[in-house]
Structure 1
Amino acid sequence: MKLNPHNLGQLPAGIARPTYDPAQLRQGIVHIGVGGFHRAHQAAYTDALMNRSEGLDWAICGAGLRSEDRAMHDALAGQGYLYTLYELGDGPGTEVRVIGALNGMLLAEDGAEALLQKLAEPGIRIVSLTITEGGYCIDDGSGEFRADLPLIQHDLANPQAPRSVFGYLCEALRRRREAGSGPFTVMSCDNLPHNGAVARKALLAFARLLDPELARWVDSNVSFPNAMVDRITPMTSAAHRQQLLERHGIDDAWPVVCEPFLQWVVEDKFVAGRPAWEKVGVQFTDDVTPYEAMKIKLLNGSHLALTYLGFLQGYRFVHETLADPLLHRYMRAFMDLDVTPQLAPVPGIDLARYKDSLTERFANRAIADQLERVCSDGSSKFPKFIVPTANRLIAGGQPLERVALVVAAWALYLRGVDENGSKYAIPDPRAADCQARVVQRDGLAARVLGDEAIFGTLIPASRAFVSAFEQQYDSLREHGVSETLRRVLGD
């Protein structure tokens, strides 16, 4: 059955579908960066609330600023913006559900004005973002906004025809201020420490360069809640689409696949109201810091600890790495010995149980999460997910071989060939620059660790870390992943 509004009532039994009429929704959110995670997370929560006959004025209008977003737009538009949420797990209780909370999508390349008008509508009270870790134009080394980027320079010179997310937000907020329609909340859903604070810093830096008076208004009126977001959402493959068709009879141009686990902890700082997401499982708090530190250091950090080593061994899915006893033990040692002692108590969370749940989630065979996805954009992920842990270990005089092995594995991964001789591409905007640093062994540590945008200043200045990195890198090259892991684990 082709998924579209006309066929909604004819879907096979057992497929959950909207209990509300999607045609009766009113848009209250614009989401910039419609991808798998947004559709499996924020949109899924909003749909769940609508299925309680609440929040029907909080429908989501998607927005795409990149040419690559057209494929998603066309797939969704062709089926009335409906899509299937396809949970995959090893146990019972997984769900197949049609989502209707996203009911439109605008593309910047079709004209900036339509999107600006949408953002300026009084009914839009939240603008949410999934623009990737690197999308905030913050230099990880200095912590400063990258005003020198061509995209930003264009928007400063052409504020009425923006191309960047910050150009769009500033122009929309300027129009709202002049019209007296009030601000909206800017809500980051990206995997960043203090993601709301990062969004605020970037937007205010842009606004000050463009219009200091507008910047002061934004500073005083716009809210930027921090949030911890969590759900493993692999890239949807042709095999996933075929599986959905064969097992459930749904022909969906672009379903979203995800694990059953779902979590969202967000600070309750919304300047223009919000949906009652707490009724469908969202946890609101005054301070998200302990939750995000737990998630980013344990889940995201451990992901990187596993995936580059696993990729070098020839594995291509996360669950395959967990089935390797050495990788499994190494990940738990990294979690227990290196990360956990750095974490503050997390209200309502048993850390031992949380780490066990991560192991179970990573081992989920049904979801078939791709290592390529987790390995991508390493140059943006390391500063957020690994470097803070390494810095604390260095400052405390703690053992460094496990965390240095994560960095060494990435450096070897950048060579583009695994232990079996298979070649692969490096999915990273900075791939060429990073790969150039690992061409020669002589001076490699200084070139790799000396990239302040990734590793800051403490790591390259630590003789102990440099030594541990070189030892692990040479061991991986000379003895391979398994033997290196045996040595690190003391076997």
Structure 2
Amino acid sequence: EFKQWVLEDKFPLGRPAFEAVGVTFVEDVAPYELMKLRILNGGHAAIAYPAALMDIHFVHEAMENPLIRAFLAKLTHDEIIPVVPPVPNTSLQDYATLIESRFSNPKIGDTIPRLAQDGSNRQPKFILPSTADRLAKGLDVVGLSLVSALWCHYFEGTSDSGKPIVFNDASAERLQKTAIASRQDPLLFLTLDDIFGTVGQNELFKTRFAKALSHLRTHGTAQTLQSYIDGHLAAT
């Protein structure tokens, strides 16, 4: 069972020996929080939309799908971890492996609809900061752009099998309207400035996003994931 408690060791009146039950005490919790936001929460945000588009209901079932599992692994190791600052006494690779194990645990019973909800709030917190960091360093964003394209495609309203998608997002009406309009111009979705900010104005991101969205619409989710895994998506 996955659990992680990290606390700053700032108890002026003393404290019980919480470390005896697995609590980690640190001087500064911020690096640990950022690691969680980028890898755990970012991982949730990454698998939510391909799984929804492929009619997968449970998170552990998504991880049983070899394409989604390989997509998450490649995205995490190639694009997310390289822009996560070092965390004291922690291997980011080992943490990612632990998170993958957590996602795969059927006893948790977490659902894809829960992960897919409130994307207008979660994408700017969990995905786009990694995208922004990579762009600032001059690094490519093929996989992270694909996550954004999957989110857009999800808001077109039907899964790959044609089933209607039920949205749970305060901005759902605006997102769906913009996603549908982007069929004429993919970059319209990136004009949601309150979500994408300056990332949506970056030329490399716009190119990668448009290619990924076009591939999704033409070839579907499974084939697009395979293209990314094989390293071909950027060239399509």
Output the TM-score relative to the length of structure 2. Answer: 0.89
* Residues 1:429 and 2:174 aligned together: no
Instruction: Return the letter of the residue paired with 2:221.
Output: V
* Structure 1 counterpart of 2:185, from 435, 443, 446: 443
Indicate the structure with greater helix content. 2
Query: Map of 1:285-364 to 2, 5 A cutoff?
Result: 285-364=26-105
1:10-47 CA-partner distances (Å, limit 9, x unpaired) = xxxxxxxxxxxxxxxxxxxxxxxxxxxxxxxxxxxxxx
User: Deviations 1:178-233 (Å, cap 9, x if unpaired)?
Assistant: xxxxxxxxxxxxxxxxxxxxxxxxxxxxxxxxxxxxxxxxxxxxxxxxxxxxxxxx
3-state SS in 1 of match to 2:184:
coil
Distance in 2 (CA, whole Å) between partners of 1:428 and 1:344 is 31
Q: Does 1:490 align with 2:230?
A: yes
Higher relative contact order (CA 8 A, sep 6+): 2
Q: Take 1:293 and 1:337, find their aligned partners in 2: how far apart are those partners?
A: 17
State the SS of the aligned residue for 1:266: strand
Q: Could you tell me which residue of structure 2 aligns to residue 474 of structure 1?
A: 214
1:366 aligns with 2:107: yes
Quick one: structure 1 residues 365 and 435, their matched pair in 2 at CA, closer, same or farther if it must change by over 3 Å?
same
Give distance in 2, aligned partners of 1:465 and 1:289.
28
Amino acid at match of 2:185: G
Greater Cα shift, 350-359 or 326-335: 350-359
Distance 1:277 1:370 in 2: 31
CA-CA distance at 1:281 after TM superposition: 2.7
Aligned partners of 2:124 and 2:195 also within 8 Å: yes
Mark the CA change 1:449 to 1:268 in structure 2 (over 3 Å): closer, same or farther: farther
- Secondary structure at the counterpart of residue 439 of structure 1: helix
How far apart are the structure 2 equivalents of 1:267 and 1:325? 38
More strand, by proportion: 1
Q: For the residues of structure 2 that align with 1:278 and 1:455, how far apart are their CA atoms?
A: 40
Residue correspondence of structure 1 range 2-81 to structure 2 within 5 A: none
CA–CA separation in structure 1 for the residues paired with 2:11 and 2:155: 42
**Equivalent residue in structure 2 for 1:389, among 127, 130, 133:** 130
* 1:284 aligned residue: 25
Residue among 144, 147, 155 paired with 1:406: 147
Q: Distance in 2 between matches of 1:267 and 1:445?
A: 43
C-alpha change, 1:287 and 1:436, in structure 2 (3 Å) is same
1:465 aligns with 2:205: yes
CA distance in 2, matches of 1:338, 1:425: 30
Q: Is the 8 A contact 2:186 2:213 kept in 1?
A: no
- Give structure 1 stretches of 5+ with no counterpart: 1-259
Superposed CA RMSD? 2.0
Distance 1:455 1:272 in 2: 44
Q: CA deviation at 1:473?
A: 0.8
Deviation at 1:387, TM superposition (A): 0.8
Q: Structure 2 counterpart of 1:432, which letter? A: E
Name structure 2 gaps, 5 residues minimum.
232-236
Instruction: Map Cα deviations across residues 385-421 of structure 1 (whole Å, 9 max, x no partner).
Output: 0111001111222222110010000111112210111
Q: Which has the larger radius of gyration?
A: 1
TM-score by length of 1: 0.44
Structure 1 match to 2:195: 454
CA change 1:377–1:271 in 2 (3 A) is farther
Aligned to 1:416: 157
- Partner Cα separation in structure 1 for residue 109 and residue 224 of structure 2: 26
SS in 2 for 1:456: helix
CA distance in 2, matches of 1:308, 1:329: 15
**How many aligned positions are there?**
230
